[in-house]
Every structure is written in C-alpha cells, then in structure tokens.
Homo-oligomer: A and B are copies of this chain.
Amino acid sequence: MLNRPDRVSPGTRERVERVMAELGFVRNESARQLRVGKSRTLAYVVLDAGNPFFTDVAAGIDDAADDADLSLFLCNSANRADREAAHLTLLEQQRVQGILITPVDPDAAALDQVARRGTPIVVVDRTRRLEDFCTVAVDDVLGGRLAVEHLVDRGHRRIAVVGGPTSIGQVQDRYAGARAAWTDAGLDPDDLVPLETDAMTVAEGRSAGERLAGLAARRRPTAAFCVNDLLALGLLQQSIGSGRSVPGDLAIVGYDDIEFAAAAAVPLTSVRQPRHQLGRTAASLVLDESTNPDHRHQQVTFTPELVARASTL
C-alpha cells in the first residue's frame, strides 16, 4: 500500500499501515495521476461487445495489459458514432495511457485529432487510408479468397456472398477477394450473387436466408459465403428451419470462427482470424507508442486461415 516501504523504519511502517487500515485509507488516483502525469489504464473501444469475435480480441489485449500491470477498460460503442465519440472524449480527458479502437469509421477525423493531441491510438481489425496510425488487421482480401476457393473446390458454380453494409471496408475487401478467386477460376461473374445486409447480425442472416429461398430454383445459389459468423449462423438457422439441408441444399462458409461456429449443430466452415494474437499485438503497439520515444507507426497484417467443417461437407 505504501509507495516505498523500504524507505521507512519497520516500526513507523507498521504503525502507519495499521492506521491506514483502521481509517480505511484509499489512495486518490486522480490526485496521484495529476501529480505524476500518467494513468495506469488502457481502453478498448469496441464496435460490438456482443460479438464473441471482439471479446476474444479483448481477451488478448487484457493479457498484454496484465503483463504490463495495467488495467483494461472496455467501452462499447455499439456501432454508434455518437457513443464512440463520447467515449473517446472522456478517455482523452482521463489521459489514459493508450486507446485501442475498432472504430465505426476508421477514417473519421475525430481519431486523428485525439492522436494529434498526444494520446496513442491503435486501430484494431480495420485499416486506414493513411498510414499515420498503428494498425493491426487481418488480410481480408485473402480471407474472401480462401472462402470462395474452398467452395469452388467443392464444386459450387453459383454462390451467394452475404454481407453489408458495403460501406464497411472489411466487407468490401472480403467481397473483392471472393470476386478475384471466382474470376481466377474462370467462372462467370454473374454467378457470384451479392446479397447485401443492413448489419452483420444473426437476424440479418435469417433475413438473407429468406431472400435466398425466394429465388427461383434454377437461379438459386448452392452455396453462400457470409462475411461473418453471425450472419452465417442466422442463415444456417433459417435454412434448416425451412426444411433445406446444410450442406446438401446450401453449403455455408462463415468468417471469424467464433466459438459458436464450431458448436453449431451443423458445425460451420469458417475463415479463422488470430483474434487473441490481434489483441496482444495491438496492445504491445500502443504500449510502445506510449513509452518508446522513437516509436514508429506500423501496419501489422495477419493471415487468415480456412477451417473446414460440416457446413461445406
């Protein structure tokens, strides 16, 4: 409880500690921080605390924070720019050691302003147009490619790509990878059917399933690549619920490989991202930026990996 117990004689020390306990003394962190000038916390502003992918990333950050003797505070923006901004403002005012963020919009000016004023920021699972930030992401073009190559290997010649909104860079990248793999295989671009969703949730996955079922049989894809697992689980549920078999009538590939993907009753083929590693790396970058005077920004990109399961045979 004392800062330097060794600087004080055992007697006094014991006496002081007794009185502290008696009086219920608790150090005032605001005063300490005001004097010392630095905080003992990191924050992760997350896009959707209910998505297991992000909580796994957070677990990785938490591990690294633990090692550095810092506490991690998780802030949920719930995909809303106003909430994200409010969190950023408070965190900046708190002078946290560093902010990790999966932003609603990675190119938003607010991020630059915070960074310019001196709070280290690392963007997680997104990339920016400019390379003026540390960034930790996964190669989404490759991920999209892996998914579609796998489906082509399995013999599918007409497939849906489910995801959106397409304003999200990640969705664009996965689409782009999918399209590249498709044309590389010499297939007709018209047979790669985009199915846009309003969000990446289970409910939107179900609704995509209904739209899919509404297509005429000869125009209906035999497989779907969903740009995340929540969509895939929703699609899976809707398909089975309406009597179609997976993968018989519809093969499904998801993305993220969250725990519930493997645990689905038709285990989901999915593109796995090293989410724990993503978090750990992001944390170490933000710590470097906050402590190392000649820190250089880096863009770290990890490689995704396809995990084949029953939903694609």
Residues of A within 8 A of B (CB): 24, 26-34, 39-41, 43, 49-50, 52, 55-56, 58-59, 62, 66, 71-76, 78, 83, 86-87, 90, 92-95, 113, 116-117, 202, 233-234, 236-237, 240-241, 246, 259-260, 262-267
Contact = CB atoms under 8 A, between A and B. Distances in A.
Copies in the complex: 2
Contact of A236 (B39, B62, B116, B265): B265
A49 B74 contact: yes
SS class of chain A's interface: helix, strand, loop or mixed?
helix
B260 A90 contact: no
Given A26-B93, A30-B34, A59-B76, 12 more contacts: A24-B113, A28-B34, A29-B95, A30-B39, A30-B94, A52-B52, A62-B76, A71-B75, A72-B76, A236-B263, A265-B265, A265-B266
22 contacts: A24-B117, A26-B117, A29-B30, A29-B90, A30-B30, A30-B33, A30-B34, A30-B39, A30-B95, A41-B90, A49-B49, A50-B259, A55-B55, A71-B87, A73-B74, A73-B75, A74-B74, A74-B75, A74-B76, A202-B259, A236-B263, A237-B264
Contacts of A39: 30
A114 to B, nearest CB: 9
Given A30-B95, A34-B28, A58-B49, A237 B259 contact: no
A26 B88 CA distance: 12
